[in-house]
Copies of this chain bind each other. A is one copy, B any other.
Amino acid sequence: MKFMHCVSKTILHQQRCKVHMSSLYRPVIVAPPPSPKTASEKTKKGVRKDEQDSLSKSLRLLIDNGVIGPSSCVGAYHLLPFGLKAMEKLTKLVDNHMIMANCQKIQMPVLTSSSLWKATGRLEKCKPELMRVVDRHSKEFLLSPTHEEAICDLIKNPPLSHKQLPQRLYQITEKFRDEARPRFGLLRGRQFLMKDLYTFDTDLEAAKQTYDEINQVYSKLLSSLDLQWMQAHGSTGTIGGLNSHEFHVMSEIGEDSILQCSSCNEVFNADLSEDQQEDQLEATGSGSVSQASTTSDPKCINCGSTALSSSKCIEVAHSFLLGTKYTKPLSALYITEENKKVPMEMGCFGLGVSRLLAASVEVKSTMDEIRWPLRIAPYLVSIVPPKQGSKEDVLGTPLAVQMYESLKKILPNDVIYDDRTNQTIGKRLKDCKKLGIPYVIVCGQSVQDPLGPLMEVHDVNAGISSLDHSDKIAKQLYDINSSIKRLT
């Protein structure tokens, strides 16, 4: 026992900052059994419908591979080393897109006073989904699910001059919602990571321009993850406002349905079509709402056509042109050129960061192996040295270490060394593929090639492998990394 500890200390002192697979990747440790897969198999006979429903491919893969872990709070997950790494990469990517849109990053507290939500009328409206805390002085706070009230409270005092507008403030923070039925892991959790941007403009025309601009940024962001996505007219729901667009990743597991009109190409959430029909029916008095939605076909919200194609999808972002819905009741005013005080025109733009991560895994993975968008894979490359004591050990291990050192220079934070050398190469290669590390470099038998040492490079996403010299492999990975960065 003491020996193990000493080994660890020696490694620490000799190889500071070296990222080892063994110390980062250990699903055996971090994924508590029974795994959801086993659980679902076990309970197929007598399982309750809602328990079966809470599983998804992404949740099963992420837990089985030790990327995330369930916690003592249903609907909230431990981010384990690989999961946190991917989340930090996605966060950085979102940051970059926000900076490009001239947004400034801030961070608002988790708790918001209930009194602010009372002022906008949302306290009652959202009651069942709000998690609430009472402090020792009997004051009530919300674990904020969103921050429209908080940002208005921040920005209102003192009133801005028209010269200081527009303002674009965003944060990437943990949000909370007491979901009736949390499911599919990070896809519908009670704690989730959200990017929320709030914009303030002088007039509606300017606010509309901001709205269009941010929606374009969202389009770029989703495209950079190489996902199949759609932008659709959405319902303004409890957030409210004048206009709303949703961004969806196409997936059969999604809880939303998107309709596309083959007459006018309008794309919209199926909810909207239902709402419209209900409105019409109510106006004409021709029947009750529940009858209506079962009897008539959905119609296009733009041209009224019924030639609609439907797709299931996961909502990952939602933009709202809010107008003065929040700035008016909370007196978030600005001073005009004529020295009058009027409410600012507001927009809000939410992006579910943890949900987008899970949606990416959901749509890209195979049934048995995780696949990540290249940009957010926890590591781009892993290096698998020979098994300890094998024929290749003497020649291959120094080559693997050398490869690690060279790659670390060109891919800082993106290369990991799989030092679980008590396991076979085959077992470790399989693990790397299951984890979805895009490139795996194996130092196996070919390091003994009579014409000079060769290594195997596995392009996991393409499902192909090749043999090459170490300098050529390094050059190849450098080029791949550069092209990824160019696209970001």
Contacts and interface: CB of A to CB of B under 8 A. Distances in A.
B12 A99 contact: no
A76 interface: yes
A178 B26 CA distance: 36
A166 B8 contact: yes
A5 B143 contact: no
A2 B109 contact: no
A30 interface: yes
A13 to B, nearest CB: 10
By secondary structure, the A interface counts as mixed
Contacts of A113: 72-73
Contacts of A164: 26, 28-29
A167 B116 contact: no
B160 A29 contact: yes
Nearest to A111: B73
B213 A110 contact: no
A125 to B, nearest CB: 16
Interface stretch (A52-60, A200-208, A237-245, A452-460): A200-208
Interface in A126-172: 128, 131-133, 135-136, 141, 143, 150, 153-155, 157-158, 160, 162-167
A81 to B, nearest CB: 5
A392 to B, nearest CB: 23
A213 B26 CA distance: 24
Interface residue range, chain A: 35 or more
A11 interface: yes
A79 B106 contact: yes
A174 interface: yes
Nearest to A151: B78
A307 B191 CA distance: 53
Nearest to A153: B72
A202 B4 contact: yes
A4 to B, nearest CB: 6
A380 to B, nearest CB: 18
Contacts of A160: 29
A398 interface: no
Nearest to A5: B206
Interface in A1-28: 1-2, 4-5, 8-9, 11-12, 16-17, 23-24, 26, 28
A482 interface: no
A480 interface: no
Given A9-B209, A110-B191, A191-B110, A102 B23 contact: yes
A143 B133 contact: yes
Contacts of A1: 162, 165, 202-203, 206, 336-337
Given A78-B154, A111-B176, 10 more contacts: A1-B337, A2-B202, A4-B166, A5-B166, A9-B213, A29-B164, A29-B167, A78-B107, A110-B176, A131-B133
6 contacts: A1-B202, A2-B205, A2-B206, A12-B100, A32-B154, A81-B105
